Amino acid sequence: MNDRVEPRGSERAAPRGSAQDGPTRAGPDTTPRLTESGLPIEPVYGPEHLAGWDPASQLGSPGSFPYTRGVYPTMYVGRPWTMRQYAGYGTAAESNQRFHRLIEAGTTGLSVAFDLPTQMGFDSDAPLAHGEVGKVGVAIDSIEDMRLLFDGIPLDRVSTSMTINAPAAVLLLLYQLVGEEQGVPSAALTGTIQNDVLKEYIARGTFIYPPQASLRLVSDIFAYCRRELPRFNTISISGYHMAEAGASPVQEVAFTLANGIEYVRAALDAGLDVDEFAPRLSFFFVARTTLLEEVAKFRAARRLWARVMRDEFGAKNPKSMMLRFHTQTAGVQLTAQQPEVNLVRVAIQALAAVLGGTQSLHTNAYDEALALPSEKAARLALRTQQVLAYETDVTKTVDPFAGSYAVETLTDQIEAEAYKLMEVIQSLGGAVAAIERGFQKSAIEQSAYRIAQEIDDGERVVVGVNKFQTPDEEPYQPLRVDPRIEEEQRARLAKLRADRSSSEVERHLAALRRAAAGSDNVLYPMKEALAARATVGEVCDALRDVWGVYTPPDAF
């Protein structure tokens, strides 16, 4: 990566607790104030903090390089962000009902949560799926489940985001097949698949295949969508899950963009032109309650990515340099204690995302720390976005924080520190090599441990947990998934296997194995197998037969 001029204020402050513990009558509080990333945050900012600062190169105009101020010239002055609500639980029919109610409440984009067996490429009747079917998302085993999931939902008018990674190609093709059954041309389908398997090795764990095989699959998806699904975002490179695992804002930016660089290199190695696929790349970040640092984080990430794409990869298309991103409010910051307080947290987090220039937003429900969100809580979460969009003035001007001494300084600091961390990853051989050494995972675990210590010590206040507790809280009645769902899914699978042509399914799965062992794009035979009613687990097993499964290394 190229040498860079280091922005001002990037020096690290002294460790917490190195100064006196609090204010005294003898003088002011001199305890160092640090951001979530451990960067110094001053009580007062002024012109001296931006001495020598060049607005033309650091800011530009909204919608122009380096996109610090936003990827579009008018941002929300033209129209508000896409309001997505993440939903999915139990059976496809139950999730479909929730989707219809969210659309009626004003949701402008769907976001699908899948259960763990689906995320791991197992059918609901697999031994490893027992006890997890429909628990943290919807169970999808075949095209029949996908039909039920989107029954009555016009896929030519609704944008759908699917939080799926290792089996992303499988769920994308099922979505395409259902669209075709509705008579919707593939070119009209819009949405996003997460498809970011590298962060699974780092922070989440729902990987299947080894990293190089996973990158091959990602590249095949890029190529397939360029030809067949030109309006679909082929990947949502995610910092969210790393942040939820404990990554600081600087780590979130650095590790996410380093993964993005790895995906770009994999696509280039597969023979794709950067300006053919890069405009469909998208990102996914968290929004915490630390509003100022979060706004600065989003601005720094846009600027870093624009420069990487132009300077490192020679992108010419402005859309290739735009970091377009979805945001979700911070689930890890929600508390089971006094859950109504989460409404306040989510509102602040959503405001940070909006002030930071997000393209779409999901607001968590206040009861998610206890169980799957109730319908009322999900509706209130959506209403939070609608209040921000239609009752405040933050949508009346582009980039309200531009020129703020505090935010611009924090933006420079985050950019500088994230770039340093990205250079460390490149020195290890890139994101995959660093993953194989356990570097990112270890760094995130250290950050998470520091946060836990600060909460335990009372240094970090969490309202209702270690301060301002309420001794006798009213009991909460959580939404529960019916355990009979697993039995129902097993029965559906048995009927599907009895009704379909087993020989036709096996013929298509054999073609998929041949493509995986060679260099042909695996999505074409995969689509044929799914159309013949092969299951998600059978398709993933066919790739497991060829590519194997990944076993993570010891900690770095």
pLDDT for the residue 481: 75
The model's pTM is 0.89
28 — pLDDT class (breaks 50, 70, 90)? low
pLDDT at 29 over 90: no
Q: Which residues of 360-392 are buried (b: 16+ CB within 10 A; e: fewer)?
A: bbbbbbbbbbbbbbbeebbbbbbebbeebbeee
pLDDT for the residue 213: 97
65: three-class secondary structure by DSSP: coil
The percent of residues above 70 in pLDDT, for the chain, comes to: 94
**pLDDT of 353-376, one tens digit each?**
999 999 999 999 999 998 888 889
pLDDT for the residue 475: 76
Tokens representing 56?
């033309």
CB 149 within 8 A of CB 175: no
524: three-class secondary structure by DSSP: helix
Tokens representing 322?
């735009």
Mean pLDDT of 127-136: 94
Mean pLDDT of 63-77: 97
Say which residue the tokens 């984080």 belong to.
297
pLDDT for the residue 89: 82
Cβ-Cβ contacts under 8 Å for 393 (sequence gap 6 or more): none
Distances (CA, A) of 333 to 7, 164, 346, 360, 368: 30, 23, 9, 20, 11
CA distance 337 to 379: 21
pLDDT at 317 over 50: yes
2 — pLDDT class (breaks 50, 70, 90)? low
Using the Cα atoms of residue 144, residue 148, residue 150 and residue 153 in order, give the sign of their dihedral. positive
552 — pLDDT class (breaks 50, 70, 90)? confident
Q: What domains can be seen in the chain, in order of their start residue?
A: 67-457 (3.20.20.240), 486-547 (no CATH)
Q: What is the DSSP string of 141-202?
A: -SHHHHHHHTTT--TTT-EEEEE--TTHHHHHHHHHHHHHHTT--GGG--EEE----HHIII
Closest CA to 90 of 142, 125, 139: 139
Closest CA to 290 of 82, 38, 67, 83: 38
424 — pLDDT class (breaks 50, 70, 90)? very high
The percent of residues above 90 in pLDDT, for the chain, comes to: 84
Mean pLDDT of 439-457: 95
Tokens representing 204?
């989440």
pLDDT at 21 over 80: no
pLDDT for the residue 6: 47
DSSP conformational letter for 21: S
252: three-class secondary structure by DSSP: helix
CB 109 within 8 A of CB 82: yes
pLDDT for the residue 1: 61
pLDDT at 249 over 60: yes
pLDDT at 27 over 70: no
